[in-house]
Amino acid sequence: MPAFKPFEIMALPTEMAHHQHHYNQIVIGLNGRTEFDIAGQGNLVGPGQGCLVSAERDHAFGGRGSNAILVVNLPLRQEPVAPGQEERLAGLFDKPCYFQLAPPARQLVSVLSQEMRANPEDHLLGQACAHTLLCALHRHMAFPRRQPRAKRLNLEMIDAYIAQHLERKITVAQLAGCAFLGESQFHLLFKAQTGLSPYQYVLEKRLEQARRLLADSQHSLACIAQHCGFSSQSLFTQVFSSRFGLSPSRYRKLRR
């Protein structure tokens, strides 16, 4: 089992994952963007932004391309390094999950990160950096007020997932997972935002890609059907003809 590290710098993979742990955690964005969902509250974390993850709280996380985050791991039981440290820690995790750093704290994060990048295996340095950062963060975190507005789905992210998995079966549960929502809530929000059910929306994406391939490629109808996620050429022909009023082969002839 790897040793507990109080202060880490890492990059998150683009594929979303989730877990929980037996210690509190402070996450601060250094480069690029990462995405977190903590107890149903999702947000993007960029440079100078961060989130607090309480112990035993399930959370999801993933990166957006090239990214780097600073992670401070705080065990629940530890000897305070100064009078009042335990109270400071408890108060810190009573606050909302996401925050913005003030400029002085961002400078401190930059300096400490450079030290840890140069000495990643120095455990004592990691502890010192974690304690220093903890003392400063309590005074330099600004918590945005929550605005009462309807949640909107990130269709760009959903479209990217559909395009990546177009050849396969795509379920509502998988799309809901992209938005960190339950299936029923996702379905209602999706229908309200797009005017289509998730199934209809995915089908439209399949047919859009099929039309592009029919017009711009030499692939056979069977190959196009498979590439666009239809279980058979006959099903593809049936669905395409019903949607556009002409068969795939007829459509290809008219476009050439």
For the stretch 40-63, pLDDT in tens is: 777 788 888 888 888 888 888 988
Summarised one tens digit per residue, pLDDT across range 229-250 is 999 999 999 999 999 999 999 9
What the block records as the tokens of 51 is: 């989130």
Provide the total of helices (H) and of strands (E) in the chain, helices listed first: 10, 8
DSSP state of 141: E
- Strands 7-10 and 23-38, how do they pair? unpaired
Q: Where are the alpha helices (DSSP H) in the chain?
A: 85-92, 103-118, 123-140, 155-164, 172-178, 183-194, 198-216, 221-227, 233-244, 248-254
Q: Is the pTM of this model over 0.75?
A: no
Give whole-number Cα distances, 52 to 37, 45, 142, 175, 207, in Å: 11, 11, 13, 26, 43
Q: Could you give the 3-state DSSP secondary structure of residue 247?
A: coil
Higher pLDDT, 137 or 34: 34
Amino acid at 212: R
Q: What is the pLDDT of residue 200?
A: 94
- Residue-wise over 55-64: b if at least 16 C-beta within 10 A, else e? eeeebebbbe
For the chain, give the percent of residues with pLDDT over 70.
Answer: 85
- Other Cβ atoms less than 10 A from the Cβ of 179: the count is 21
